[in-house]
C-alpha cells in the first residue's frame, strides 16, 4: 500500500475508487490530478491493482501516485479477487461520505468532472447518481467499429432518457454511491466473470433508494474487437441467469430478455447462435448488421438462462 504526501492531511467528502487488472490507469490518474487545486483536498483517489502481477505497471502507477496532487492511495494485491470483491475492498480505505466508482479505462470529458461530482454531493448528497459515459475520446480504429455501434445505441444515452429506467442505466464506470447506501447494499461477491454485477446491484438499490441521473460523462476508452466482446458475452450467461432469478420484474422489461425468450422457443437455436456469431465477426458484413448479429448472438446465449 502506497500513500502520497497529500493523503495524510486530507479530509475528503468524495472518495474516487478505481480498480484495475492489467489495464494502465495512468491517463485517468493524470486527468483527475489536474483538478486537485480547485478541490482543495475534498476529493481523494484510491486505486486497486487486483492481482495484475505486472511489476512494471505497478511501478509506473506508484510513480504517478507519488506526484499526484490529489490525496491518493495505491493498493496492490498479490492475487486477483474479482470485480465485486475488489470494489468492496476499495471502500474499506475510503474516507469520504460518498464513493465515486470509476473504471480504469475511463477518461473525464470535462475539466470540471470531479468538481461537478463534489458540487452535487455538497448540494444534494444523493443516495446514488450515475453521470453517464460517452465515446467522445475513444479510438476510431476499424477493429472496434462493432463495439462502438453497439455502445452508442444502448449505453451512451442522454440523462433524461436514462432517468426513465434508472436502475437499467447504472454502470460502475462512473457511479456515485453514498456511504450508508453502500453499507446497506454492497456488490454481490458471488458474481464471477464479466457482466451484470453492477446492474444487479442497481436493481437492489432502486427498490430502497432514489437513483439520480445527470450529465457528467466520461469516455469509455476500452472498446473491444467483436470477437473479444463475443467472448465476454459467453462469460456473462451465468450472471444473467442470476439476475433473472432475483429480479424478474425488472429484467422482463429489457429487450435482451425478450429476445432471449423468443429465441428459446425457436427450433435449432444452437445452430442459429453459431450463424449469428459468424456474421458478427465477418468484416465483409456492414457494421450495423454485424452489431445486430452480435446482439442476436447474446440473446441466443441468454436463451439458456430464461
Strand partners, 107: 219
Residues 210, 87 within the same domain: yes
Which of 192, 223, 254 is at the close of a domain? Answer: 223
C-alpha distances out from residue 273 to 42, 231, 263, Å: 50, 13, 9
pLDDT bin (cut points 50, 70, 90) of residue 304 is confident
> Would you call 213 helix, strand, or coil by DSSP?
strand
Half-sphere exposure at residue 265, Cβ-oriented, CA atoms within 13 angstroms: 5
Q: What is the mean pLDDT of the chain?
A: 92
Per-residue pLDDT of 226-259, as tens digits, reads: 999 999 999 999 889 988 988 999 889 888 889 9
Q: Are residues 55 and 167 in the same domain?
A: yes
- Residue 286 has a pLDDT of 97
**pLDDT (mean) for 78-101:** 90
**204 shares its domain with 256:** no
pLDDT (tens digit per residue) in 20-60: 998 899 999 999 999 999 999 999 999 999 999 999 999 99
Range of 116's domain? 2-223
User: Confidence band (pLDDT; 50, 70, 90) for 184?
Assistant: very high
Q: Are residues 15 and 112 in the same domain?
A: yes
Reference 197, options 261, 107, 103, 92; nearest CA is 103
Both 139 and 259 in one domain: the answer is no
Q: Report how many domains make up the chain.
A: 2
pLDDT band at 187; cut points 50, 70, 90: confident
pLDDT tier, 266 (very low <50, low <70, confident <90, very high otherwise): confident
Are both 201 and 228 inside the same structural domain? no
Q: Are 4 and 47 in contact (CB under 8 A)?
A: no
At residue 108, the pLDDT reads: 97
Q: Which of 205, 223, 241 is a domain's end point?
A: 223
Of the residues 191, 223, 255, which one is the last residue of a structural domain? 223
Amino acid at each position: 500500500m502506497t500513500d502520497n504526501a497529500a493523503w495524510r492531511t486530507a479530509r475528503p467528502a468524495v472518495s474516487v475508487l478505481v480498480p484495475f487488472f492489467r489495464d494502465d490507469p495512468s491517463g485517468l490518474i493524470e486527468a483527475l490530478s489536474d483538478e486537485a487545486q480547485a478541490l482543495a483536498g475534498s476529493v481523494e483517489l484510491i486505486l486497486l491493482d487486483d492481482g495484475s502481477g505486472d511489476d512494471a505497471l505497478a511501478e509506473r502507477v506508484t510513480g504517478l501516485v507519488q506526484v499526484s496532487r490529489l490525496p491518493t492511495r495505491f493498493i496492490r494485491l498479490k492475487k486477483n479477487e474479482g470485480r465485486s470483491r475488489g470494489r468492496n475492498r476499495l471502500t474499506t480505505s475510503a474516507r469520504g461520505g460518498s464513493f465515486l466508482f470509476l473504471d480504469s479505462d475511463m477518461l473525464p470529458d470535462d475539466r470540471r468532472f470531479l468538481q461537478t461530482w463534489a458540487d452535487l454531493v455538497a448540494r444534494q448528497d444523493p443516495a446514488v447518481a450515475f453521470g453517464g459515459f460517452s465515446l467522445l475520446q475513444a479510438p476510431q480504429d476499424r477493429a472496434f467499429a462493432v463495439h462502438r455501434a453497439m455502445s452508442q445505441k444502448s449505453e451512451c444515452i442522454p440523462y433524461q432518457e436514462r432517468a426513465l429506467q434508472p436502475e437499467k442505466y447504472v454502470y460502475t464506470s462512473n457511479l456515485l454511491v453514498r456511504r450508508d447506501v453502500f453499507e446497506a447494499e454492497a456488490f454481490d461477491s458471488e458474481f464471477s466473470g464479466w457482466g451484470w454485477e453492477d446492474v444487479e446491484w442497481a436493481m437492489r438499490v432502486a427498490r430502497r433508494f432514489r437513483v439520480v441521473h445527470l450529465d457528467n460523462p466520461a469516455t469509455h476508452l476500452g472498446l473491444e474487437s467483436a470477437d473479444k466482446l463475443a467472448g465476454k458475452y459467453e462469460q456473462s450467461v451465468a450472471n444473467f441467469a442470476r439476475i433473472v432469478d432475483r429480479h424478474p420484474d425488472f429484467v422482463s422489461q429489457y429487450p435482451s430478455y425478450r429476445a432471449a425468450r423468443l429465441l428459446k422457443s425457436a427450433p435449432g437455436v444452437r445452430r442459429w447462435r453459431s450463424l449469428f456469431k459468424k456474421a458478427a465477426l465477418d468484416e465483409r458484413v456492414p457494421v450495423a448488421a454485424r452489431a445486430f448479429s452480435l446482439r442476436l448472438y447474446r440473446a441466443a446465449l441468454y436463451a439458456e438462462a430464461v
